[in-house]
Structure 1
Amino acid sequence: MPRRDEFDLIADLFAPLAGRHPAALNLADDAAVLPPPAEGQHTVVSVDTIVGGVHFLPDDPPDLVARKALRVNLSDMAAMGAEPVGVFLSVALSAAEDDAWMDRFIVGLDHDLGAYGVGLMGGDTVSTPGPASFTITILGQVPPGAYLSRAGGRVGDDLWVSGTLGDSALGLRVLTGTLTLSDKAASDFLCDRYRVPRPRVDLGLALRGVATAALDVSDGLAGDLRHLCRASACGARIETARLPLSDATRYCIESDPALADIALTGGDDYELLFSAPPDQAALVDDIAERLTVPLTRIGCLEGGNGVTVLSGDGGSRLLESFGWRHGW
């Protein structure tokens, strides 16, 4: 399999992308030189890594791997209410990622850098015995004091979530062969939701001054809500009947009731979960309409320190499973 060396890889594939941001210095130097933040702005920084066999599958299309790597970082900016500015990309390539694979990877990366108006500022390229991994450090900006955090929720606030839940976790099951669907359209939809997250960047910006607390749903609704509750020193109550589900996920649950909790515990949704005072409900609805992003009120924050789930039959339970955690 033909394979560029490190410097040809940078010159041929990454340097052309770096032209979007002058701080990159065309990737010709050892570091980027960033201008001072725009007047009245603070810098927001986050970093995420995706690893083959953990966050993407060996046969996932390379262009979609690139898009996922970027989008999970964009989702962190959305959760903070920050406007993304630029990224640094570190790639660790195994023998499986040959020139043809990387050519397709760059196509996907270029597409989403352009779609989200983000510049490639620099990075690093190394080899690894495997699996491949891609680490992105993303920079954003936000006015002082306007960022969203997990810690501002208050007892009595409504809880909202964007989009639909459980799709990505089901998509992973389809791709790994542990779930087989006779409905091809549903299968394709769920696989796409796993491979290509929808970071809610515009929503994060719109929620400044509206949401009291926010984070993105990456490890499952139950687990991430637990994070928000701990940071905000309160508990939560949610209703399963209110959890937003796609038609494909409803179809799966109807076919197999054992999947009923997938919207609570499935990961990789990358939707925004946020709290807001009840008197802001009309404004939240207006934001949803303006951005054409579904926003669903699923419960509220309350006293205590647990996550209580109310079922459609009037029963309740305190969640003990809180989603995905990496094991060491």
Structure 2
Amino acid sequence: MTVAFETALSDFASKLEAGLAVRLEPAPWPGELARPARLLAAMRHAVLAGGKRLRPFLLSEIARLLNPDLTVEALMPAAAAVECLHCYSLVHDDLPAMDDDTLRRGRPTVHVAYDEATAILAGDALLTLAFDLLADSACHANPAVRAALVLDLARAGGLGGMVGGQMLDLAAEGRFGEGATPDEADIRKLQAMKTGALIRAATVMGARLGGATEDEVRRFARFGEILGLAFQLADDLLDVTATQSEMGKAVAKDAAHGKGTLVARLGIDAVRAELERLVAEATDLLTPWGARSETLAAAARFVAERRR
């Protein structure tokens, strides 16, 4: 990573952390009756634990590339919504019935720090909060834009996206009886749904918030698809090459669970070569914006070259 990119990502993460904290304060919002303390604490544990904040960062950078008058603060409701949905997915993925992880971002997972029932409810509440934030007029003055954002996130997070991808992932472990070993196409589809769909949604939502043309929306949708694939490929590499202390979570899980990955199927060298190709394609998509898109090009390199 370049120093400029590291600074931009860190500064944004700090602002997002503060924005998320404000949205997870004890005082009820209009229409709410009360915010149970234990549930709120578990939600804060899940959300205010650091992390890369990559998805909302992409949303913000794309929106401000297309409309430089936008501020991070103006984009905060949508950025926070994306992160809330992402964090909900992590809480549920870590549950004993799913991946059964005890460590996340270097801290105990929510069901370990609290209990399983509280973790389920915390995930439910974060998922609901994401759409609360998008539907509110503070997100965007135009209700048609808000509706489009809600649809983008719902389609990415649900049956045909992230949740469906998690189901395919469980099936690939043999949870539901013997089945065919996933081939390369199956693995790519699973990863595009489980990991890529939310990254793609973040880039599309950023484009909409920036007032993109339909051609620009399509261009940034492809940019998001590429980054989603690169993110998962890099994650699979790290699962076999990194240590638990570097990652802040358990490693070598894929082999232990019998999961098929492109690293296992293609080999480390082939995956690294594909990552280089994906970065080049992502960078080419940014050509119309020239030097102004360097932060986004650096984000693509970061996704492919990250070490944790």
Q: Same fold (TM over 0.5)?
A: no
Please state which structure has a larger fraction of its residues in helix: 2
- Between Structure 1 and Structure 2, whose CA radius of gyration is higher? 1
TM-score (norm 1): 0.30
TM-score (norm 2): 0.32
Q: Which has the higher contact order (CA 8 A, sep 6+)?
A: 1
